[in-house]
Amino acid sequence: MNRPHVAKIKKAGQRFEVAIDPEKALEFRSGKILDIKEVLKDIHIYTDVQKGERPSEDELRKAFGTINSGEIAATILQKGEIQTTTAQRSEMHEAKKRQILNLLHLWGVDPRSKAPHPVARLESAFEEAKIKVDDHKSAQEQVEDVIKELAPILPIKIEHKKIKLSVPKEYAQQARGHVARVATIVQEQWLSDGGWEGTVEIPGGMEPDLYDELNRITHGQLIAQHIQR
C-alpha cells in the first residue's frame, strides 16, 4: 500500500500531520487555491497519517491554541513541510534554476560592455561551471554565490543604479510600497503636500521595469533622476 502524501509540522514537542494532495497543497501555499477542502484528503489532524493516530484536543490546543481542524490544517500547510513527489521536486528544482538565471540576466552585466548577458549564454556557463542549485534557499539568496562560481567562465557583475524618485501625493503610498518591494530605499521623505521623495538603489537590469511600473501607478507623473556614484 502506498504511503499517503502528508504535510507535517512539529510544535510543542509533537508532530502533527494532514493527508494532502501534494500538487494542490503547493497551490494553496502560493495562493492559487483558497479552499483548504480542495487540498485535504480528510479534515482530521493526525500524529501519524499512515497509522491513523490522532492527537487529543489538549495536545492540539497546547500546540496551536485551537482545536479547529481547518485552522490547524491551514497552519500546517503554510508553515510546515509539504511532502512532494519526485516529479514535483524536479520541477521545483528546475524552476529555481530558471529564477536564478533570470535574476542574473536582469541584475548582472558584462563589466566590459555594461550590457546584460543573454539568458542562453548564462545557461551555458551555468552548466559548464556545474553550479548546484540549493532548493532550500531563495533564488535571490544564491545570486551572489553563483556569480563567484561563474567568474572564471563568464565575466559578470551586478551593477547597481542610484536613483532619486519623486511621486505626487495621489500615488505616493502605492508607489512607495512598490519601490520598497523591488529596491533598497537609501533615504526618503514625505513632503508637506503629501508627496513622496526617495533615493533608492536597484540592480541596473531592473531599472526599466521599475520605471514602467511607477509610470503606470502615477499615470506618467513620476520624476526620476540618476545620482552619480
Domains, the chain, ordered by start: 6-82 (3.30.1250.10), 86-158 (1.10.10.900), 160-226 (3.30.70.240)
* Cβ-Cβ contacts under 8 Å for 60 (sequence gap 6 or more): 16, 45, 66, 67, 72
> Per-residue confidence at 179, pLDDT binned at 50, 70, 90?
very high
Report the pLDDT value the prediction gives residue 207, as an integer from 0 to 100.
Answer: 85
Mean pLDDT, residues 178-194 taken together: 93
pLDDT, residue 115, reads 84
Q: Once rounded to an integer, what is the mean pLDDT over residues 51-74?
A: 95
Alpha carbon distance 58, 61 (integer Å): 5
Residue 1 reports pLDDT greater than 60 = no
Question: If pLDDT is split at 50, 70 and 90, which confidence band does 23 have?
Answer: confident
pLDDT at 125: 95
Residue 134: per-residue pLDDT: 86
Torsions phi, psi for 98 (to 5 deg): -65, -40
Short-list 225, 206, 209, 215, CA closest to 168: 215
Q: State pLDDT tens for residues 77-134.
A: 999 998 877 877 788 789 889 989 998 988 888 888 888 899 999 999 999 999 999 8
Residue 135 has pLDDT above 80, yes or no: no
